[in-house]
Structure 1
């Protein structure tokens, strides 16, 4: 029988801990102690990475919107995104819109954070809010973008039928005020190696733990609840854990109530 996954064991340990352990420091302690579990699961992680090399949204033919993981059964996304897969697969680009909105659309390719920083430096006095429409991509770039958004005191938003998946919610988390409109599509899953180069078991273990700690620390600094990252850890890279408005509010990912679409007269 296949042993429980690292993420499931971590989630079980976290949820069954005494109340006194449900503190910020205890969460990081659990992450550090998870190294032993991670070593047992390395073979499965390596196989999964090899099985899904095309799940980098920059790769032609990659699924921009993976099926959901609900009680282990794949489900469709709550709604279809307004943008086509071709648009979402393109490298991230930026457009200044009226009202101080900077639209960030496309995959978070390596280098997206640098272009974003240049855009903010050139138009920073006009930008009040960053609107996101992205299937995700580079975790490193997403974290840098998120930190810059918070440093500049900007807000973030995912509009109706816009997509913010994989590493994109890390960018979204940087907003001082964070709004997801009705039917906005937000989802998370495990981070994975999208490159064709397969690391050694030691490198895979070190990289997974380092990335896990870095993301958890960033979300904590942004004021996001620990439960968000737990759900990401237990969701395979070819699935998405789609976030309902209730879950987004519970994890403090959103600070604004979901806007209700206006009914036509």
Structure 2
């Protein structure tokens, strides 16, 4: 069975299942298995061909905004981001905006979480919300940023024509309240080992299972519906599944229609 078929079957089973502890345990087990097959399949594809590169936003030969995956056919993103590719490819940096909003812009490079933690520590209680504009990057750093956001009781938001893709929605999920403006660009896809040496098949499967479980558990802890991660598992790493406003609400990725900072103005 192909990875996409396996992910599709998992989604159908999940949508038709009764909610309960037993079904949740089975769901996480199946997610881990699906992640392993997806990771190994991607590794085999990358060894055989260079036509399916992983989406690394910090490399100059990869598009900052990959095509959408719609019924297996790449389509253009819903709107173009306001920021230039050069801005989005740079390592994540932070800017304090009026109203206690900390703008986090650029790729989530290794070490971004440490810089974010130092920024939050330096700003004290003044920061109330984090505004995201990022094509993604390091999953480990994204999870750490998300966890800190929730611990500090901060909100998250994505502005009009701002981008939050790949691992960035993991950061967004950490907000106590979460919002996306009209034409905010939010997308997900499979995780991959960009910039790393290809591991052995055994290690690849172990890494995939561990990463899949970590992400699924984190999203569940943050109150995000499982359907969001199912769409990520279905989408190759050189494509994005762009979420509609209705899907963001359905998956509880957003809790507010308008960013909190705009509501107080």
Shared fold (TM-score, shorter chain, > 0.5): yes
Distance, in Å, in 2 between the alignment partners of 1:185 and 1:220 is 22
TM-score, scaled relative to structure 2? 0.90
Q: TM-score, normalised by structure 1?
A: 0.90
Residue 41 of structure 2 is aligned with which of 40, 44, 51? Answer: 44
Deviates more, 1:192-201 or 1:64-73: 192-201
Structure-2 residue corresponding to 1:97: 97
Change (3 A) 1:36 1:57: closer
Residue 217 (1) aligns with residue 206 (2): no
SS at match of 1:209: helix
The gaps in structure 2 that reach 5 residues or longer are 260-265
Deviations 1:74-98 (A, max 9, x none): 1100000000000000000001111
Counterpart contact for 2:40–2:205, Cα < 8 Å: no
Deviations 1:34-88 (A, max 9, x none): 5666666665221345545562111122211000001111110000000000000
Contact 1:166–1:188 under 8 Å retained in 2: yes
Q: Call closer, same or farther: CA 1:36–1:56 in 2, change over 3 Å.
A: closer
The question of 1:191 aligning with 2:191 is answered yes
Q: Is the 8 A contact 1:169 1:187 kept in 2?
A: yes
Partner Cα separation in structure 1 for residue 126 and residue 35 of structure 2: 45
Deviations 1:94-118 (A, max 9, x none): 0111110000000000000000000
Partner of 1:67: 67
Give the whole-Å Cα distance in 1 for the aligned partners of 2:233 and 2:13: 17
Check if 1:4 corresponds to 2:2: yes
CA distance in 1, matches of 2:232, 2:37: 19
Instruction: Give the alignment's Cα RMSD to 1 decimal.
Output: 2.1
The 5-angstrom pairing of residues 21-170 of structure 1 reads 21-23=18-20, 26-33=23-30, 43-50=40-47, 51=50, 52-53=52-53, 55-170=55-170
Q: How many correspondences in the alignment?
A: 256
* Residue 177 of structure 1 pairs with residue 188 of structure 2: no
Structure 2 equivalent of residue 15 of structure 1: 12
Give distance in 2, aligned partners of 1:77 and 1:173.
22
Secondary structure at 2:132's aligned position in 1? strand
User: Would the alpha carbon gap of residues 43 and 145 (structure 1) be closer, same or farther in structure 2, given more than 3 Å must change?
Assistant: closer
Q: Residue 67 of structure 1 contacts residue 74 of structure 1 at CA under 8 Å; is this kept in 2? A: yes
Please identify runs of 4+ aligned residues in structure 1 that moved more than 6 A: none
Shift of 1:27: 3.5
Distance 2:22 2:162 in 1: 35
Which secondary structure does the structure 1 equivalent of 2:225 belong to?
coil
- Going from structure 1 to structure 2, the CA distance change for 1:37 and 1:212 (only over 3 Å counts) comes to closer
Query: What's the secondary structure of 1:102's corresponding residue?
Result: strand
